[in-house]
Each structure stands twice: as C-alpha cells, then as structure tokens.
Amino acid sequence: MSRRAVTLACASCLLLVLAVVGALLPVPYVALYPGPTANTLGDNGKGVPLVQIDGRQTYPADGHLNFTTVTYRGGPEARIDLFTALRGWLSADTAIVPEETIFPKHESQQQVDAENTRQMQDSQENAEAAALHELGIAVPTRVVVNSVQPNMPASGKIQPNDEITSVNGVQTGTVDKVKAETGRIGVGGKAEIGLLRAGKPVRVTLTTAKGQDGKPVVGVVLAEAYRFPFKINISVGDIGGPSAGLMFSLSIVDKLTPGSLTGGKFVAGTGTISPEGQVGPIGGIQQKMIAARRAGATVFLTPKDNCAEALSARPSGLRLVRADTLHGAVQSLNALTSGKGDVPACSK
C-alpha cells in the first residue's frame, strides 16, 4: 500500500473517531417528549380517585378530562449528548430547548424539582378555589405566616405556618387587612396578634418596628390561603408543575354538578388556573397535544396564548378549543355536548 493510501486511511479513521467522540459529547440542551396523561375523572392507577371530594354531594361523571404532561431528558447533572440532540431536532415528537429554559442558572436539579412540586401544590389549591367560585360556593381566605425575619419583633414569638386571625381584636382574613390594622398602630405601638398554631389559639403581644418604607412592621412574610368548606384531595403522584390547573378545576365542577360536562367525549387539555378562574399559558404544548391524541383525545382545551403554536403543530384528528377562563371552558364543553352554542376555536 502506498504512503498516500496509508495517510488517507489513517486520516479517515481519525475523522471517524473524532465524529464518534464529538457525537457523544454532552451539550447544554434538554430534550422534551410527550409525557403521561391521566383522566381527572378516573383514578390514579391504584384504585384511588384522582380527584376525590368528601363532605359534599357528588355526581357520576363519564368521558375523559385528561391533563397532559411533558417528560424531559437532560439537565446540568445528566446532560444529553450531541447525537441525542441532533436526533431530537429531526423528530416531530421531540423539542430540543436550551438547558436554562428548564433549569435556570444557579439552580440545581433538586431545586427545580422542589419548585415544580410547590407549583403543583399551588395549582391544586388554585384549581379548587376557581372551581368553587365558578359554582358560587363561598371560599373564605386565611392569612398564613410563610417566614419570620430574624432580629425583628416577631422573632421567637411567631412561627412559620401560624395563621393570623386578628390584630388588636380586629378579625383579619386577608394580607391587606393585616397590613392595614398594623399600620393603624404606628411605629413603636403595641400589637396584640391572635394566632392559630396547629389548630390551637395563641395570643402574642409585640412592639412594632420601623420598616424600610417607614411603616410599622412586626417582621413576618405573609401569604393568603383558602379555607375550603369541604375536603378535596388530588392525587397525582410525583408529577410537578402548574399546567394541570384547568383540568383539575373542570373535574371538580363536573363531579359537583349533575350530568356530564364531556357528554362521554374524550377531552384533554392544559393551562394554569388562577383562583379567579383565568387560564394561563404553559410550555411544551406540542408534546402535550401529541400525548393527548395518542391517548385517544379528540378535543384539546388550549390556553389562548398557546393557540398560535398549537395550530402549527396540531395532530390530525384533534380539535383545538380556546380556553380563556374556567367559565368559558365550561360553556364550551356544554356547547360541545348539547350541539348548541359557540365553541371558540384557536386562531393565530
């Protein structure tokens, strides 16, 4: 064999080795795939209703109201290789997105997972509140202590998860009410705080301090929660994120009202939900539609801000129904079931 042939053969082998090594190099991207979908009118796979209501009359519901999910591969601690990324770019089922889209800088995978879990919990509470508001059932709020600031009047006297019920004898059901009553006291004044701690009433007296804005404070970070009139339990296992809120709300409405929202149809969907019933956009709409259609869905409830993207990737046989609010989604399902009324479609 000539020297030139040997050189070409060696160069070809070297290029092949470099190509293989390069394809296996980790890259800062995440692959998104269609994830599991579950019927909120059914059970969680262990015989337990996915949405269970106790203490209130419920009604049988048929059909499907499926929430949809996205699974991912990659992340700072387990990056995908270049070959996987290239294959994903060529696949209609997969989205390849920059790593920071899913994992913000300076956050570990464990922190992201914890945040997703918190978002799912908040989504469930918002879904319950929205559904009861839609049905005209009163849902009073309560004020809960998220955290206590160090070296402030409340330190050592008020604890996280305490519920503030009154300030100087005035009942408080909102954060604004607590702030208003504290403001009346003035800096250096006495504040008698009524609390519920683990269900037991507690009273503490504090001297207010001067906050950064010059207003009187006691040094607590507050949040509003709800006091539901009956128990609603949502069981979804280790699925995280806020995007199932709309479907949870619809399931609760369906179970608490006679008849069937779906009319036996296979409806799936996605969207965050606010306590007032506003539907918000989500990520991964393409993968969620694919998962829904594969499961058998023929109708997909789509947040209005996701409509343009959804239209460009809609699977064949899947009807997109625009969902702006919970009330609107209920009306759309009633129109689909009865064949009467307008059903808003997605538009670009």
Taking the alpha carbons at both ends of the chain, their separation in whole angstroms is: 64
Catalytic residue among 166, 243, 249, 332: 243
Block residue for tokens 């250096």: 188
CA neighbours within 13 Å on the CB side: how many for 183?
Answer: 9
Block residue for tokens 């919990």: 121
Three-state DSSP state, 255:
helix
Asked if residue 251 lies in contact with residue 40, where contact means CB atoms within 8 angstroms, the answer is yes
CA nearest neighbour of 118 among 99, 97, 159, 146: 146
Asked if residue 152 lies in contact with residue 209, where contact means CB atoms within 8 angstroms, the answer is yes
Block residue for tokens 């479609």: 345
Torsion over CA: 233, 236, 239, 241 (sign): negative
Q: Specify whether 243 is catalytic.
A: yes
CA–CA dist 131, 136 (Å, integer): 9
CA–CA dist 89, 141 (Å, integer): 47
Cα angle for residues 162, 110, 125 (degrees, 5° grid): 40
CA–CA dist 207, 189 (Å, integer): 5
Tokens of 195: 């609390």
Q: Specify whether 288 is catalytic.
A: yes
Catalytic residue among 157, 255, 265, 288: 288
Q: In sequence order, what DSSP letters do the residues of 157-219 get, joined into one string?
A: TS-TT-EEEEETTEE--SHHHHHHHHHHH-TT-EEEEEEEETTEEEEEEEE-EE-TTSSEE-S
The amino acid sitting at 176 is D
Question: Hey, which residues are catalytic here?
Answer: 243, 288
